Copies of this chain bind each other. A is one copy, B any other.
Amino acid sequence: MTDMARPRHRSSGNRYGNRPTMKDVAARAGVGLKTVSRVVNGEPGVTPETERRVQEAIDALGFRRNDSARVLRKGRTASIGLVLEDLADPFYGPLSRAVEEVARAHGALLINGSSAEDPEREQELVLALCARRVDGLVVIPAGDDHRYLEPELKAGVATVFVDRPAGHVDADVVLSDSFGGARDGVAHLIAHGHRRIGFIGDMPRIHTAAERLRGYRAAMEDAGIPVRESWMSLGVTDPERVRRAAEEMLTGPDPVTAIFTGNNRVTVTVIRVLAEHPHGVALVGFDDIELAELLRPGLTVVAQDAAALGRTAAERLFGQLDGDLLVPERIELPTRLIARGSGELPPAP
* Chain B hits for A97, CB < 8 A: 86-88, 114
Q: Are A110 and B109 in contact (CB under 8 A)?
A: no
Flag whether A156 is at the interface (Cβ < 8 A): yes
* Chain B hits for A133, CB < 8 A: 16, 66-68
* Chain B hits for A7, CB < 8 A: 326
* Chain B hits for A13, CB < 8 A: 75
Q: Within the complex, what minimum Cβ distance (angstroms) separates A226 from chain B?
A: 33
Residues of A in contact with B, size category: 35 or more
User: With A89-B93, A97-B86, A291-B271 in contact, is A156–B66 under 8 Å at CB?
Assistant: no
Task: Give me 16 A-to-B residue pairs in the complex whose CB atoms sit less than 8 angstroms apart, sorted by A's number.
Answer: A9-B156, A16-B155, A62-B150, A64-B151, A67-B133, A68-B132, A68-B133, A72-B72, A92-B93, A109-B113, A109-B128, A112-B112, A268-B290, A290-B291, A294-B295, A295-B295
| Contacts A16-B156, A17-B155, A62-B155 known; 17 new A-B pairs at CB < 8 A | A6-B323, A6-B326, A9-B326, A14-B74, A62-B152, A66-B131, A67-B128, A67-B131, A67-B133, A72-B72, A79-B111, A87-B93, A87-B94, A88-B96, A88-B97, A100-B114, A112-B112
